[in-house]
Amino acid sequence: MCATHPRRWNRFAALCAHRTPSQSICLPHSDSQVGSSGQETGALSAHGVCSVLISLAARTASLFMCGSSGQWCRPARRALCPASPSAAVLVKCLLVSACDSVALAMCAGEENWVDSRTIYVGHREPPPGAEAYIPQRHPDNRIVSSKYTFWNFIPKNLFEQFRRIANFYFLIIFLVQLIIDTPTSPVTSGLPLFFVITVTAIKQGYEDWLRHKADNAMNQCPVHFIQHGKLVRKQSRKLRVGDIVMVKEDETFPCDLIFLSSSRGDGTCHVTTASLDGESSHKTHYAVQDTKGFHTEEDIDGLHATIECEQPQPDLYKFVGRINVYSDRSDPVVRPLGSENLLLRGATLKNTEKVFGVAIYTGMETKMALNYQSKSQKRSAVEKSMNVFLIVYLCILISKALINTVLKYVWQSEPFRDEPWYNQKTESERQRNLLLRALTDFLAFMVLFNYIIPVSMYVTVEMQKFLGSYFITWDEEMFDEDTGEGPLVNTSDLNEELGQVEYIFTDKTGTLTENNMEFKECCIEGHVYVPHAVCNGQVLPGAAGIDMIDSSPGPGAREREELFFRALCLCHTIQVKDDDDVDGPRKSPDGGKSCVYISSSPDEVALVEGVQRLGFTYLRLKDGYMEILNRENGVERFELLEILSFDSVRRRMSVIVKSITGEIYLFCKGADSSIFPRVIEGKVDQIRARVERNAVEGLRTLCVAYKRLTPEDYEGICTLLQAAKVALQDREKKLAEAYEQIEKDLILLGATAVEDRLQEKAADTIEALQKAGIKVWVLTGDKMETAAATCYACRLFRRGTQLLELTTKRLEEQSLHDVLFELSKTVLRHSGSLTRDNFSGLSADLQDFGLIIDGAALSLVMKPREDGSGGNYRELFLEICRNCSAVLCCRMAPLQKAQIVKLIKLSKEHPITLAIGDGANDVSMILEAHVGIGVIGKEGRQAARNSDYAVPKFKHLKKMLLVHGHFYYIRISELVQYFFYKNVCFIFPQFLYQFFCGFSQQTLYDTAYLTLYNISFTSLPILLYSLMEQHVSIDTLRREPSLYRDIAKNALLRWRVFIYWTLLGVFDALVFFFGAYFMFENTTVTSNGQIVTTNTHMIFGNWTFGTLVFTVMVFTVTLKLALDTHYWTWINHFVIWGSLLFYVVFSLLWGGII
């Protein structure tokens, strides 16, 4: 088992029992004797075996009971064996491991068990009587991003290339030419294949050589680590899991480290992760509470601790673990570890002199290395069509070969008709079985006509996509000067898909809006407060800083008012920007105090800045105490006890603080739908009315509540949170359950309103997209009124739009079945019957309805019905959506956003979907959609990192789709159709020629022409055409968004267009062949194959007829491309006329040679 699962050696070798909630069950020592040296020397006695079995039975029962209750875990283990186990120990290991397997099988399905690893800090064994020291094997710290080595490059690269169907097909053709007697030389298929394989291998080899250079530079980088209390320097590749590493300011972390201590007194450090996720802002990380005081190498060297954490996984923002710190006490101190304690490889230390950390993931197990793996591949509609067309042409090829094979034997069945004199068979060949001869002839015809499958098309398409993607990144109009950001292309495989989008799913906050929040007002116990303007950079003190817009709050309100302001000053995760010259808050030039706040949430910054204008200023977090400046310029200090972090599921966050007088408060802020159900006291109705009014005006609202805690309450909360935080299994679930128990029985204080302005040109962009026939859906977590106001502002909804609601509030009055059928009747009565074009938004008559649905209602729609017909509601919902010009989905959880995208994507019409967002909560829908676009916003770069494309602003989506997407689709479609067209022109004369040569498999063209037609004579003009062509101007595409409809639904690669290009190729081939044929009408063929004209007695060579056909064909297909070109540059002229000149020169030289 150890060899198969090396990561589970800990489970295999640890000779201990799991602790149950009430006790520890340990295995007895009576089965062996321990010598004076401390080593186990005895054999396994009968009494020992019985003891072990009894303990194992108890262990299994304990695991089963814990597992069935959903609380199974892996606690610390007691030492029962030395580092070098004996045979007796190994037997017990096997028994314990078998028991583990039985218990886990019993617990299967009860809980998501997470495999973990144990790390010994500094490779030091735990103190005696603590935990067994179990040697573990982990990879070293070498990073290997390269794919090949010097020895495996050729076989591995060839294997990868021949996995492609086209390459494998041409390899088979080449082998057939080598094995049997074929009419063409193996060079004709071998050389193009060799060219394609070689070019690709050189490209991939060069890229891999660059990766090798980068790997070597990274692996040889010097690193400082602690060894025997001293600082030692060695290469990065020699680091091991468990080593204690020291990193200095501006150095990059060499591996994933658990943060132990820093030179800063508060045990924090600042890092930048630009090389990981593109974010250049400083992030604060926190050292382990019990180790942050170890500032020297000697202190660190005396640390005895073990770390239990999850096995490596690629998510940069998630980490689960715990650390056991051993001291003189019998039991270790257990502390939870999260992402805030993890320093990632590739991140850079900033504004901190030095830090110490222990390596937990090294080499290819680091999160940076695991993120080298690419996302799942998305395939465009064009690529799917191209593959279908290739199958069709393969069927045509087989049909041609089969027809010629049959006709050959039919023709030879006539008297005096045999193989031509130049194709005579040997006697042994004549005596072969008929089926074998027919198979040989069939394969020979396959070889003769195989050029109908273009060998260079895949390479040309890849080059077109790769080079064409630079047109987006080079577009200066899509560069945002405010942020200094430009568009990004994370994949070039979907360029043409940008021209086929039928549905756009967009986030609201940070995508349609600026995500630049401004505090507008707050409502405390039903009374509205508006902050006074800041005068000359100073906040007016006292009540002068507040404007009341309603009646006086009355007696006793000042205490609640100040409590509300304190809640806003304390309930957040904001950091105050450091100033190297000033201790404490930054001082403004005029002597007034001001602070620069940093947070991942613009809402938090807006609230803290807003309450500053109301007289309360958050100063800093120092030594675990939050400091605020009140209206009387007095500094108040609160000890920060706990933070219940925000998440998109709870939609709220809380802090627990303790005042200097000993009072303990829990302050909670969040969405009204999350706070109101947990409130037991407060003026709920007045505050709810104000919240709804602000939401209608498009303001973002949050509610604030609190409750006082007794010391006993807080002690119970600490126990509950500690149990959840140190859990390795289902930590998030257990934390959520703990938060649910803690955040209840609250007293409502008030609500806030902040304004998030609409992005520049967002309304114009949505209007243009709708004119292009694209349906736009807004998916947001905001409340319905706020989101609806934004939709009106960006003209997604118009004043004449009739809004249909499918919300929880309406479902309280009617059943889901009744509401859906009522909405369906409404839209069908006005819109008529459904069509395919209705679904893609191409009908101009569907501008009357807009649908609003919330997350709870969506869950009911997606939930299977009790009678088992779960799909009926979904189909009815889709029917309603088809007839609405726009849809707003509010109160959406991240997974619900992806659920909506998937629902539309997999509907029977299979429309092309695009999802755009700026935050981590948008990643799921970005990955689900056909095309994912991330907005490089203020909520990090997770969306941009996981997207196919990234843009600085939503307005840039207009040009990306209506201009770049339009051009990409036109160009790639023309490229694909033209390739098939010119190959039909090339091969069909070969097919016709067989009727004039007795189906003898004689080739019409010279070997050189067969070889160079696709890779030299006709490839460059179409490649340049597919990069440069503009059938209409960019300004026209901007002014006329409706032109986007002309190419919708893969219009240029439909069967009708495909058949047209194929028949055009057949017609042109007939003209080429019979035009040349009639030129040689009065000719005779001599015995040596020469052609002699009857009248002039001119003598032509054997290849004259084929060369004439080939020359007319090359000029025709190239000049056709010139005639189809609308946008001429000097490069077009050079490539088109240069290609023809090259062919003429080559023909003259080659004709002279042969």
Residue 897 labelled as part of a binding site: yes
Q: Which amino acid is at 520?
A: K
Q: What is the DSSP letter of 345?
A: T
Q: What is the DSSP letter of 964?
A: I
The span from the CA of 192 to the CA of 187, in Å, is 8
3 state DSSP class of 720: helix
The span from the CA of 150 to the CA of 134, in Å, is 37
* Nearest CA among 31, 934, 1084 for reference residue 488: 934
8 Å CB contact between 545 and 954: no
Q: Which residues contact 816 (CB under 8 A, 6 or more apart)?
A: 857, 860, 861, 873
The span from the CA of 572 to the CA of 653, in Å, is 8
Annotation marks residue 507 as catalytic: yes
Across 675-801, the runs of DSSP E, i.e. the strands, are 679-681, 700-709, 746-758, 775-779
Residue 921 labelled as part of a binding site: yes
Residue 918 labelled as part of a binding site: yes
What phi and psi values does residue 639 have, to the nearest 5 degrees?
Answer: -75, 125
The span from the CA of 46 to the CA of 1016, in Å, is 83
Looking only at the bridges linking them, the beta strands covering 849-854 and 802-806 are parallel
Q: Integer distance in angstroms from the first to the last C-alpha of the chain?
A: 70
CA count, 13 A, side-chain hemisphere, 745: 7
Catalytic residue from among 507, 756, 948, 1006: 507
The span from the CA of 624 to the CA of 626, in Å, is 7
* Nearest CA among 27, 30, 1, 31 for reference residue 14: 27
The span from the CA of 975 to the CA of 1018, in Å, is 12
The span from the CA of 318 to the CA of 627, in Å, is 30
Looking only at the bridges linking them, the beta strands covering 886-890 and 849-854 are parallel
Would you mind telling me the total number of residues written for the chain in this entry? 1154
The span from the CA of 186 to the CA of 432, in Å, is 24
8 Å CB contact between 255 and 358: no
8 Å CB contact between 686 and 546: no
Residue 508 labelled as part of a binding site: yes
Residue 115 labelled as part of a binding site: no
User: H-helix or E-strand containing 299?
Assistant: helix 297-301
The span from the CA of 281 to the CA of 268, in Å, is 16
Residue 708 labelled as part of a binding site: no
Looking only at the bridges linking them, the beta strands covering 664-670 and 679-681 are unpaired
Looking only at the bridges linking them, the beta strands covering 949-951 and 931-935 are parallel
Here the tokens at position 568 are: 């806003």
Q: Which amino acid is at 323?
A: I
What phi and psi values does residue 110 have, to the nearest 5 degrees?
Answer: -80, -35
Residue 507 labelled as part of a binding site: yes
CA count, 13 A, side-chain hemisphere, 448: 29
Here the tokens at position 356 are: 């110490």
Residue 782 labelled as part of a binding site: yes
8 Å CB contact between 531 and 613: yes
Instruction: Write out the DSSP string of 490-515.
Output: S-STTGGGGGS--EEEE-STTTTEEE
Q: Which amino acid is at 308?
A: E
- Backbone angle region of 573, left / alpha / beta, with phi > 0 → left and psi within -120 to 50 → alpha: alpha
* Nearest CA among 1051, 1069, 1079, 1050 for reference residue 1117: 1069
Give the position of tokens 């040889």.
Answer: 220
Here the tokens at position 676 are: 């109101």
Residue numbers annotated as active site = 507
| Known binding-site residue numbers for Mg(2+) | 507, 509, 918, 922
Annotated binding site: 507-509, 604, 646, 669, 700, 780-782, 891, 897, 918, 921-922
Annotated binding site for ATP: 507-509, 604, 646, 669, 700, 780-782, 891, 897, 921-922
